[in-house]
Amino acid sequence: MATTTFEVLAEPRRREILDLLRDGERVVGDLVERLELTQPAVSKHLRILREAGLVDVRHDAQRRWYRLRPEPLLEIEAWLAPYRRFWAERLDALERHLDTMPDEPEPRSDP
């Protein structure tokens, strides 16, 4: 059964891992420490992210370095594009409406 990028990212901890990898490569131990999860739990999430193509692993002696692969996120970017246009149109309409409203008079200060 194929898992979609959306299904993989539905899990909050996996999104946290991607957030951490956005700044660069990290070893599993660093992710364990930052996420305050057990090593097996982090490894399970990393395996799922790797199988979905969202992360790559590089072996360096005994350490495994994980890094973000942004290409699969293009699926989400494409899905979000119409919603961005939807909100941009709404915000533009709000701006036009606000531009037609008279400015509020400044309150007078009595001495």
Predicted TM-score of the model (pTM): 0.72
25 in Cβ contact with 67 (< 8 Å)? yes
For 24-81, write each residue's pLDDT tens digit: 999 999 999 999 999 999 999 999 999 999 999 999 888 999 999 988 888 888 888 8
Closest CA to 32 of 43, 23, 21, 22: 43
- At residue 19 the predicted structure's pLDDT band, cuts being 50, 70 and 90, is very high
User: Which CATH number is 5-68 given?
Assistant: 1.10.10.10
Could you tell me the pLDDT band of residue 9, with boundaries at 50, 70 and 90? very high
What pLDDT score was predicted for residue 1? Answer: 39
